[in-house]
Structure 1
Amino acid sequence: MIRGLMQDRPLTIPGLLTRAETSFGHKRIITGGTEETVATWAEITPRVRRLAHAMDALQVPAGACVGTFAWNSQRHVELYLAIPSSGRILHTVNHRLHGEQISFIVNDAADDILFVDRTLLPVVWPLVSSFTSVRHVIVMDDGGDVPLPDDPRILDYEDLLRGQPKTPIETVIEDEHAAASLCYTSGTTGNPKGVLYSHRSVVLHSLLLLGADVFALSESDVIAPIVPMFHVNAWGLPYAAMQCGADLVLPGPGTAPAELAGLLSRHRVTFSAAVSTVWRQLLSELDGHDLSGLRHLVCGGGAVDDALSLAYQTTIGLPLSNAWGMTETSPVVTTARLGTAHRGLSAEESRQVLGTPGPAVPLTEIRVMSDDGVEQPRDGASPGELQVSGTTIASAYFGTDRGAESFTADGWLRTGDVATIDRWGHLRIVDRTKDLVKSGGEWISSVELENAIMAHPEVHEAAVIGVADPRWGERPLACVVPAPGVTLTIEDLRQHLRGRVASWWIPEQIELLEEIPMTATGKWSKQSLRRRFADTASPAVAEDDVKERA
């Protein structure tokens, strides 16, 4: 084999630090909160070096995990750079998890030190006695008035940086496959599992987000990741901003809808990403703010129901666009876009295309497999288990012999989603395997049924689960949150569904709730709903529904 004559430079996060400083030193990182702060990369990069030297002074071992409990903020960005650039592993921890899960995660990663926003100290400090490896807790003052415990393990972030040199970081990352960051899944079944990203995967993933057919991020953008920095590196958006030189707008601890809408308006944000529950909560705040700067809104964490997307298109002239991924996939694998095959579609048809996950991004591959291991045709009509592969996809979980069943013999990740792929490569998620409702031997898609319910103008949210049924094995139960100030009846909903879905899909049981419980990552917690309605018996299905099913 004849080798190409190219320079062998590793793809590592220190390269992003250098790029941000030398090419985009004037660009801004804005953090919202009680007192909004603005800093440039020229001001931040010396702090990153001081932080790396401070960890050396604390004798944090090379290759050790360093935990963070922090909001989206400038200091968290500094940690994103300093920890992996100094040869340690950035371990972002989701503070919204249960205490037992947090303790498991910190101990499983063997975190050496923790960085904690002061407002999150009430969550973390009561658990410190259960952490077996943590030597220090460094508190970052984010404006909270939480009293600090009198404990020698507590250190102040700014005090730690003072006196440290701003000379270059001494560690050199020579192997691009070295571990850079660690994130755990939400643990909906069993303990959370760790996904260990390499320097190479982080750099490649952030670079692909700049693609014209992905998010088309550029130097002229103002990027506001509402997706939390404690979950999958905020979808790689902070690193992508370093790649292209975009301004970065971060909410800080202020995540109330009014505060978020004000932040998007005040800083003329052009690109933002969040899960559907956040976009739904923001809907009531849109009228009071000028959001004309926005060019692209990405919705992840589940399907985009057309009613929500239409509301955004009507109010600000911009529909929501879907994207799909997992903790195990860095996370972005597909993004919605309109291709040449979609020319001539109506506004409604185009919006519905943008509401689906879309085609695979560069460097990744997708396929759907039947139960007997045969790849399904790309006809948009043959569902199977979605499997993914690529340079930004996990090959195993962190730890020994953990989750091996999630990977195929030929190395593809089994996602647990049921999906179809059409002839243009566009993905459509039918459901999660565990969320499909199997009624009388036939499958009901909870995703499609939820979207049909949420098309009702007086429905705020809806989640569908399966409940045991003595005749059909399982029947759908719909949990519905009415829109504020309306009187919604169950019969209204049933009438609305007639003609939109098969009659035997229409739930006999519809529960009107004040709210739907959420997971730690902002998705509907169907596990909580299943526990709540575990003993619910489904009434008989109407005879005409039986005839249609036959």
Structure 2
Amino acid sequence: MIPTKLIPRTAEASEPPLLIKSLLAQSLKYEPQREIVYRDLFRMNYVEFNQRVRRLANVLAELGVKPGDTVAVLDWDSHRYLECFFGVTSAGAILHTVNVRLSPAQILYTMNHAEDKVVLIHEDFLPILTAIKDQLTTVDKFVVLSDKVYGETAPDVLSGIADYFSGEYEALLKEASSDYDFPDFDENTWATTFYTTGTTGNPKGVYFSHRQLFMHTMGLLTYIIGYEAMPFKGSTDVYMPITPMFHVHAWGFPFLATMMSAKQVYPGRYEPELLLKLLIKEGVTLSHCVPTILNMLVSSPAAQKFRDNLSRWKVLIGGSALTKGLAQAATDLGITVMSGYGMSETAPVMAVGYLNEQEQQLPKEDQLELRTRAGRISPFIEMRLMDDEGNFVPHDGHSLGEIVARGPWLTQGYYNDPERGAELWKGGWLHTGDVASISPDYWVMIADRTKDVIKTGGEWVSSLDMENILSQVEGVAESAVIGLPDARWGERPHALIVQKPGYNLTAEAIKSGLKDQVERGELHKWYVPDRILFVPEIPKTSVGKIDKKRIRSEMKEQILTS
């Protein structure tokens, strides 16, 4: 640190901390009558929302939750989840967004590791809770979240949790006061935690402070609204997440949308027909999701029925690479797609696609190539490329290196796991594990995960590039490419393919087409996979990413036994 001269401070001067409650406060200033909608079951305006957030804080206090305690939530994407984003954190407690797609054993581990005190759980997940409740070490109360309260049937509560049951969410809110004064505290106070799974070991606890989430919201505000990377105007746009709210706070967009008092729509459990129905009925214009969800929607017969209504819909894609084939299919339906880049440890946004004035004049095909890149580096994020020896690699658009980053909203480590935290921040930079190139004009182009790059015949082959090539083969709905050991070449690529309905593709025909591209000089010979298997579906992780660890294991077993 160089010597600096600090600003003199008057003893009485006050500088409010950067807290999540400050984001909430903005929602009442300008458009308090805008709506927050849950499926076709519930809607409220921002005045009612703020009251419910304060009622929730009072409910938690009555349940014994104190600042620093952890409150777990297991729910579908809902208005209740949004209330927890603000009510739990603004009261000084820690919000644990539980990944409901993990195995019961992993959920048990994360809840004990996070030291959850109170659990808010949707009735759909009660069987999970019943199976693990006797092994929970810190939980003493459960609150049930029920959709049945919006109908004529009272909520069912399993007798298995009767000893811990503290009430149904809506009933408790109804009885609670809407008068609650959220306190000031240090902006570096722990606000949220969730768990991310890796290839080995137990899930890792990622955590964020109020200041980090506030700054991430400011970063989104600057890039999404200021630069209009994915134009989002509170006066005309309607937001609906299609990324689970347990997955990195639904990428931070609920904080931004609430601060702007924009209309928000929460779809609950993802069902293609309902998602499209809500999209049309509520006038949704901005969403974000992983490619798997977008592929499910554009492949749905209902998408063709609603295609005339999709021209205002903008979708940010992250979590996995957006292939040109999927991008083209979405574009053909009138949907505007753009890629973003980040990871659980980065809150998550570190890059979003942004077409400048010159790029907006390019032919559509060239624009599509840019839209499928990982994005342009976000404001306030410093991103570099590093080789295996720790040297920085030039940003020339060609040289490859591991992405390392610094910024005001990156997690500082893993909870109670200093060794893996030190590995994450080796050398003072957060190591992403992603291999990429960066152009002089700040475009990030992911080549692969370090563990997924295929090293064959002395060459590095990108599995993502191969998946992108296969996605453009007519009749291919989805593909996944992994490298498997080869005695001669070190590794060779192998592919899984899901066909579109009505097609009868063969491995020989696909390989023949790729070899033709090799003959024409359009592809390197290493990009022809050794083996192509047709499957009904491609294995995914709990957050919808292609599960290449599982694919490698299963394909290796098939090859050994064939």
Asked if 1:526 corresponds to 2:548, the answer is yes
Q: 1:61-103 deviations in whole A, cap 9, x for unaligned?
A: 3201110001111111111111001110011001001111111
Q: Cα distance, 1:4 vs. partner?
A: 7.1
- The CA deviation string for residues 145-182 of structure 1, in whole angstroms up to 9 with x for no partner, is 8842221312211232233221123x513211101111
User: Equivalents in 2 of 1:336, 1:41: separation in Å?
Assistant: 31
- Aligned AA (1:88): A
How much has 1:293 moved relative to structure 2? Answer: 5.8
SS state at 1:348 partner: helix
Q: Within 2, Cα distance between the matches of 1:172 and 1:102?
A: 31
Q: Does 1:77 align with 2:82?
A: yes
Structure 1 position 110 matched with structure 2 position 115: yes
Aligned to 1:359: 376
Q: What residue is the counterpart of 1:516 in the other structure? A: 538
1:89 and 2:106 correspond: no
- What letter matches 1:161 in structure 2? L
Query: Paired residue for 2:397, among 367, 376, 380?
Result: 380
1:148 aligns with 2:157: yes
Q: Equivalences for 1:443-458 in 2 at 5 Å?
A: 443-458=460-475
Which residue of 317, 320, 327 maps to 1:299? 317
Displacement of 1:504: 2.5
Q: How does 1:2-401 map to 2 (within 5 A)?
A: 2-3=6-7, 8-32=15-39, 35-143=40-148, 147-150=156-159, 151-154=162-165, 155-169=167-181, 171-211=182-222, 212-213=226-227, 214-220=229-235, 221-253=237-269, 255-283=270-298, 284=300, 285-289=302-306, 290-292=308-310, 294-316=312-334, 318-340=335-357, 342=359, 344-401=361-418
How far off its partner does 1:124 sit? Answer: 2.9
Q: Quick one: distance in 2 between partners of 1:538 and 1:406?
A: 35
Q: Distance in 1 between matches of 2:508 and 2:417?
A: 52
Q: Structure 1 residue 36: deviation in Å?
A: 2.5
Contact 2:58-2:180 at 8 Å conserved across structures: no
Relative distance call for 1:49 and 1:319 in structure 2 (3 A) is closer
How high is the TM-score relative to the length of structure 1? 0.93
Q: Which amino acid aligns with 1:158?
A: E
% identity of equivalent residues: 34
Structure 2: which 5+ residue stretches go unaligned? none
Shift in Å at residue 7 of structure 1?
A: 5.2
Which amino acid letter does the alignment assign opposite residue 312 of structure 2? Answer: L
Going from structure 1 to structure 2, the CA distance change for 1:237 and 1:19 (only over 3 Å counts) comes to same
Task: Find the aligned partners of 2:465 and 2:420 in 1 and give their Cα distance.
Answer: 29
TM-score by length of 2: 0.91
Give distance in 1, aligned partners of 2:382 and 2:8. Answer: 26
Moved more, 19-28 or 375-384: 19-28
CA contact under 8 A between 1:12 and 1:203: conserved in structure 2?
Answer: yes
Q: Is the 8 A contact 1:210 1:244 kept in 2?
A: no
Structure 1: runs of 5 or more not aligned? 540-550
Alpha carbons of structure 1 residues 113 and 120: separation in structure 2 relative to 1, 3 Å? same
Deviation at 1:365, TM superposition (A): 1.1
CA contact (8 A) 1:368 1:384 kept: yes
Provide the rounded CA distance (Å) in 2 between the counterparts of 1:272 and 1:59. 36
Structure 2 residue matching 1:396: 3-state secondary structure:
coil
Q: Does 1:431 align with 2:448?
A: yes
**Following TM superposition, by how much is the alpha carbon of 1:407 offset from its aligned partner in structure 2, in angstroms?**
3.1
What root-mean-square deviation, in Å, do the aligned CA atoms of Structure 1 and Structure 2 show?
A: 1.9
Q: Deviations over 1:304-326 (max 9, x none)?
A: 1111111111121x342000110
Counterpart Cα distance in 2 of 1:519 and 1:231: 12
Q: 1:118 to 1:535 in 2, by over 3 A?
A: closer
For residues 305 and 112 of structure 2, the distance between their equivalents in structure 1, rounded to whole angstroms, comes to 45
**1:4–1:203 CA distance, 2 compared to 1 (3 A):** farther
1:9-64 Cα distance to aligned partner (Å, 9 max, x none):
111011122222343321111111xx421111111211111111111111113201
